[in-house]
Homo-oligomer: A and B are copies of this chain.
């Protein structure tokens, strides 16, 4: 018995016939880190990653400094964790962003210690990191122009003198792939590869660049080293964007990227995504603003969103123990918020995630997750459809159509489910709004 489709017994038996279980091996993800040509990176940034001593192993990088060297003004925007227990770097970065009215030229990140639940000392240490990095800026800032991020152990104070020394020694900054890669490596905690991407894009016939890095979430194993789940990311572009429009664009992008991934379903004290826009691509840069040129703003916003989705998806792919990358699409919702809520619920359901790991075409679990949250427009069970979308170019495989179970082609379902990438699509039949979420399977095993 199972809530699988009738006739799914053969796929099922592989998982139910014995009480012990041979787990699938988790595929290596290191091929996802690739060299990027120097010219793909945005102009006007200097950066580095070093070992300053937060981590014990001297070969492991733990501190990154990123400076804007653009002659044009640099805008910054950020999205911070909504957790009530905000770590010191979050509180300090928020204050820097507010006081500078979004004019920020630097970013400093350490891994190995989260500087969270560290009281007054923690706040002082975060400010010390800001001031030390401010001092690297040319021209010298009048106020503070550095944002700070930390990831690692909770409840321990930073080895702040080591970090400040490391920042002060960061004078040999680079701007090519090697420098970006060192910065990305300094972000890493349990990540199995540095998550670095760059892209070239065109706005109004002119070429711009965007590069970014992030570090991952999903650490759900008691035997893993660092059991923190912080999501940090930064994106740098050489386009010129006004602060308020950069914030609008980032909020929109983060909602559809970093807020649309599920690895372990928790929200850390340190989660932070930052974007800098320095206008270095063109000396005569005029800042993009949604109120003066809506079309260009939206084009930029969509580039940022798509790029943020790429970075966020790397985190899902590197989810600890993940063997599958699953896109959950919810279509036909009455509002984006409803669609996003359902996509989130499905993506974080342990029952759905274990069914995906088991390669079980279990629309019952998808349906139960779909129906389990209150929405602004109530669902009509007779309008809901569920299908699998393969990544091999084939058409969708309907499992449930308007509330009625389909008689499914078992061989085809097994084929789709055995792939590393697949999409689960839920159609609500209530409107025209959609949302996507990216999740991985739970490689839960029986003991």
Does A332 count as interface, using CB distance less than 8 angstroms? Answer: no
Does A205 count as interface, using CB distance less than 8 angstroms? Answer: no
Q: A223-B15, A370-B84 are in contact. Are A117 and B364 (CB under 8 A)?
A: yes
Which residues of the other chain, B, contact A83 by a CB distance below 8 angstroms? Answer: 368, 371-372
Contacting pair A21 B223 (CB below 8 A): yes
CB closest residue in chain B, given A226: B1
Does A97 count as interface, using CB distance less than 8 angstroms? Answer: no
Q: A26-B447, A155-B405, A223-B358 are in contact. Are A370 and B85 (CB under 8 A)?
A: yes
Q: How far is the CA of A15 from the CA of B153 in the complex (A)?
A: 16
CB closest residue in chain B, given A384: B85
Of the candidate stretches A70-78, A131-139, A262-270, A305-313, the one touching chain B is: A262-270
Oligomer: number of copies: 2
Q: A220-B444, A222-B358, A371-B83 are in contact. Are A228 and B155 (CB under 8 A)?
A: no
Which residues of the other chain, B, contact A285 by a CB distance below 8 angstroms? Answer: none
Contacting pair A355 B222 (CB below 8 A): yes
Contacting pair B226 A321 (CB below 8 A): no
Q: A371-B269, A405-B117 are in contact. Are A221 and B444 (CB under 8 A)?
A: yes
Q: Closest Cβ of chain B: how far from A404's Cβ, in Å?
A: 6
CB closest residue in chain B, given A62: B1
Q: A85-B370, A266-B365 are in contact. Are A220 and B350 (CB under 8 A)?
A: yes
Contacting pair A1 B113 (CB below 8 A): yes
Q: Which of B84, B227, B351 contacts A381 (CB 8 A)?
A: B84
Contacting pair A447 B1 (CB below 8 A): no
Which residues of the other chain, B, contact A360 by a CB distance below 8 angstroms? Answer: 222, 227
Q: A25-B447, A266-B365, A364-B117 are in contact. Are A189 and B370 (CB under 8 A)?
A: no
Contacting pair B444 A444 (CB below 8 A): yes
Q: A2-B153, A266-B368 are in contact. Are A350 and B350 (CB under 8 A)?
A: yes
Q: Which residues in chain A, 96-134, are within 8 Å of chain B measured between CB atoms?
A: 112-114, 116-117, 119
Q: How far is the CA of A381 from the CA of B369 in the complex (A)?
A: 32
Per-position binary interface string of chain A over residues 219-245, scored 1 when its CB falls under 8 Å from any chain B CB and 0 otherwise: 111111111110000000000000000
**Known interface pairs A269-B364, A321-B447; 15 further A-B residue pairs with C-beta atoms within 8 A, sorted by A's residue number:** A1-B112, A2-B227, A15-B223, A84-B379, A117-B405, A219-B351, A220-B350, A221-B445, A227-B358, A227-B360, A227-B362, A269-B367, A269-B368, A445-B445, A445-B447
Interface residues of A (CB under 8 A from B): 1-6, 15-16, 18, 21, 23-26, 55, 82-85, 112-114, 116-117, 119, 152-156, 189, 219-229, 264-269, 320-321, 349-351, 354-355, 357-360, 362-365, 367-372, 374, 378-379, 381, 384, 400, 403-405, 442-447
